[in-house]
Amino acid sequence: GQEGTLSHSRLYFSSHPIPDEAGFSAAKEALALARKTLPGDIVFAGITGGSSALMPYPVEGITLDEKKLVNKLLLTCSANIIEINAVRKHISQIKGGWLAKAIHPQAHLINLTVSDVIGDPLDYITCPTVPDTSSFDDARRTLTKYELWEKVPSSVSRYLKAGNTSQETPKDLSDHRIDNFIIVAGTAACEGAAQRARELNFETMILSTMLEGESRELGGTFAAIAKEILLNQRPLKPPCVIIGGGETTVKITGEVGKGGPNQEFSLGAALWIDQIGEVVIIGQDSDGTDGPTDIAGGIVDNCTLKRAEKLGIDIYAALNRHDVTPVLQKLEDAIVTGATGTNVNDLKLMLVMPK
C-alpha cells in the first residue's frame, strides 16, 4: 500500500482493491461526520481512484467479508469499472450518493476529484458525493452478463434481486448545494506523454483515451498498428509515437499467478512484434502498481520473444497462467516507478522507428 501523513487530519490506512476493516471504520466515521454537518458548513471531499475500495460500508444484512468476495469476483471477471461500480454502489450505505445525502442540505459540499475512469463520469469518479445514474437493473445485468449469480453470497443475490425504487441510490440532490471540480482528468497521462514526445520531435498521435477490453488482445492490436506504420506509413510515418489510455482488464479462470493488466498488454504485444522492425511498446499503470504487484507495468520490443526463448521462458504459457510478473522480471523488462501519488488510468506507449 501507499501511505502518507497529513496535519490536522485523521487518517485511515485501508486496503485496495479488496476492502478491509480499517476502511469499514473510515466509512462509518465519514458517514457519522456527514450527519453532524450544520447549515453554512463547508465540506470538502477529495476523491481519487480507489475510493470505492477504501470506504466499504455494506448494507444491512451483507457482511464485509461477503462484500470482499463480491469485489474479488467482479475484479476477475473482466467487467469494466462502470459495471463493477453499479454493483458496488447498490450494496453500499455510502456509495452512489448516500454520503452526499447525509450532509445537511444547507451545507456547501465541494468535490475535488482526480479521475481514473474513462470519460470522467462524475457519478463513477465521485460516487459517494454526487447523485447516482445507475440502477438495481444495471447491477443485476452485470451479474447476469458475467454469470455471477451462483457465485456471489446468497445475501447479496437476495438483496439485489429484491432491490426496488424505494431502496435506490439517490438520483436527485438538487436540494443540496454541491459544486464539482475535476482537478486532474483521466486523460492527463496521455496528454503529458504526447507533449513530451513532440518535444523530442516525434510524430505523435493519441490513438484513444478510452481503451477497454482484454489486455493481451489489445497488445496484439497495438502490434498490428506498428506493422501498418512500418509497411504503409499509416496512420503516421515513422519515427513516431502512438499513445493510448483507458483501463483494460483480464478475465481470470482457474489458478492465477502474479501479474496485472498492463503487464499482460505488454507481453501480449511482444508475441506479435517479433523481428518486424524497431518497435518498443510500454503498458504502465499510472499509480505505480499494476494489479496486486509492486511493478507499474512492462516494456517490450521486437527482440523480446527471442530473448525469452533463449532464456527458456514461454511467454504464451505465462499469459495463459496469468503469471507474467516473473517473466518481465527475468527479462529485466519490468517497469518499477514506486508510488506516483496519483491514479489517472493506464498509459500505453508505442515507439516505431523507420526500417
Per-residue pLDDT averaged across 273-285, rounded?
96
Q: For residue 6, what pLDDT is reported?
A: 75
C-alpha 242/C-alpha 190 separation (Å) is 10
Q: How many CB atoms sit inside 10 A of residue 144's CB?
A: 10
The CATH class that applies to domain 21-184 reads alpha beta
CA distances, 284 to each of 109, 152, 183, 349 (Å): 34, 31, 22, 9
Residue 117 has pLDDT above 70, yes or no: yes
What percentage of the chain reaches a pLDDT higher than 70?
A: 99
Residue 277 has pLDDT above 70, yes or no: yes
Q: Which of 20, 21, 22 is nearest to 11 (CA)?
A: 22
Per-residue pLDDT band at 5 (split at 50, 70, 90)? confident
pLDDT single digits (tens) 211-221: 999 999 999 99
Domain 188-352 in the same topology as domain 21-184: no
Average pLDDT, the chain: 95
Per-residue pLDDT averaged across 285-297, rounded?
94
Residue 193 has pLDDT above 70, yes or no: yes
Domain chopping of the chain, boundaries: 21-184, 188-352
The CATH class that applies to domain 188-352 reads alpha beta
Which region among 146-155, 246-255, 272-281 has the lowest average model confidence (pLDDT)?
A: 246-255
Q: For residue 3, what pLDDT is reported?
A: 66
Residue 90 has pLDDT above 80, yes or no: yes
pLDDT single digits (tens) 118-147: 999 999 898 999 999 999 999 999 999 999
